[in-house]
Structure 1
């Protein structure tokens, strides 16, 4: 999905669910990590996490950001704790929190002389360490 397709999707959702037009810019921001999107108060633009496209709740994330957008422009409570925000979010079917993304974690697999397995997230120099169970020397097997 490109930024132009995102812009069209946001405008379509805004018109269908809010009965209001979206007059600003909606773009992807690759620097967003844990959040689904954000509303920028000064420019009224919306930014979305491109990793969230594959999530089934992506339209609900767009609705969440549009709730911030429309309530702020109407000078109503646009923050998460405000009752106006909670009411409108429930009315349009948006979600309160972004879903967790599955993060693949890689581990380094080490083995000592007596075949004890050791898994670590960070790689280390095997000459500086010994096995905690038997005191044997370690050897790097592979990265899993």
Structure 2
């Protein structure tokens, strides 16, 4: 799907589901990572994450567009457009838009496996448990300023 096709789809969904025109820009934003789309308050444009279309199909894309159009139309009308607002929740239900988008299949793999890294000081034997790796040439033991070494990495599934 190209940018122009996305623009036409958003305009069509706006008329069909909301009975109001979409007068701004809709585009794919390759920098979006953790969200399906976003409505920009300053410009009133809508940005969509292309990965959701590529991996989950057009049905998921339509749901994301409807969700962002709810933000769009409510904001322009001066009503509650945030996720916590009752007007937003009611409009989502009315047009059949999801409150949150589905999780991408490749994201599920990364989140399901958790790891713990174990480090130990070579001087005082103080042990450290971390979720993120430490640059052992830069950081030292907080107790005695000794050198840290990585002992092992535990992966939970």
TM-score (norm 2): 0.66
Matches within 5 A, 1:98-117: 98-103=101-106
Q: Distance in 1 between matches of 2:98 and 2:61?
A: 10
Instruction: Determine if the alignment matches structure 1 residue 97 to structure 2 residue 100.
Output: yes
Unaligned stretches of 5+ residues in structure 2: 111-132, 134-149, 153-157
Q: Distance in 1 between matches of 2:151 and 2:62?
A: 52
Q: Distance in 1 between matches of 2:106 and 2:69?
A: 27
> 1:115 corresponds to which residue?
none
Unaligned stretches of 5+ residues in structure 1: 107-121, 123-128, 132-144
Shift of the 130–44 alpha-carbon distance from structure 1 to 2, 3 Å rule, reads closer
> 1:28 corresponds to which residue?
28
Instruction: Determine if the alignment matches structure 1 residue 72 to structure 2 residue 87.
Output: no
TM-score (norm 1): 0.71
Query: CA offsets, 1:97-143, max 9 Å, x none?
Result: 1111111769xxxxxxxxxxxxxxx9xxxxxx999xxxxxxxxxxxx
**SS of corresponding position for 1:38:** strand
Give the structure with the larger helix fraction: 2
Runs of 4 or more above 3 Å deviation: none
> 1:39 corresponds to which residue?
39
Q: Please state how far the C-alpha of 1:21 moved relative to its aligned partner.
A: 0.1
Q: Please state how far the C-alpha of 1:15 moved relative to its aligned partner.
A: 0.2
> 2:2 corresponds to which residue?
2
Q: Distance in 1 between matches of 2:91 and 2:29?
A: 25
**SS of corresponding position for 1:42:** coil
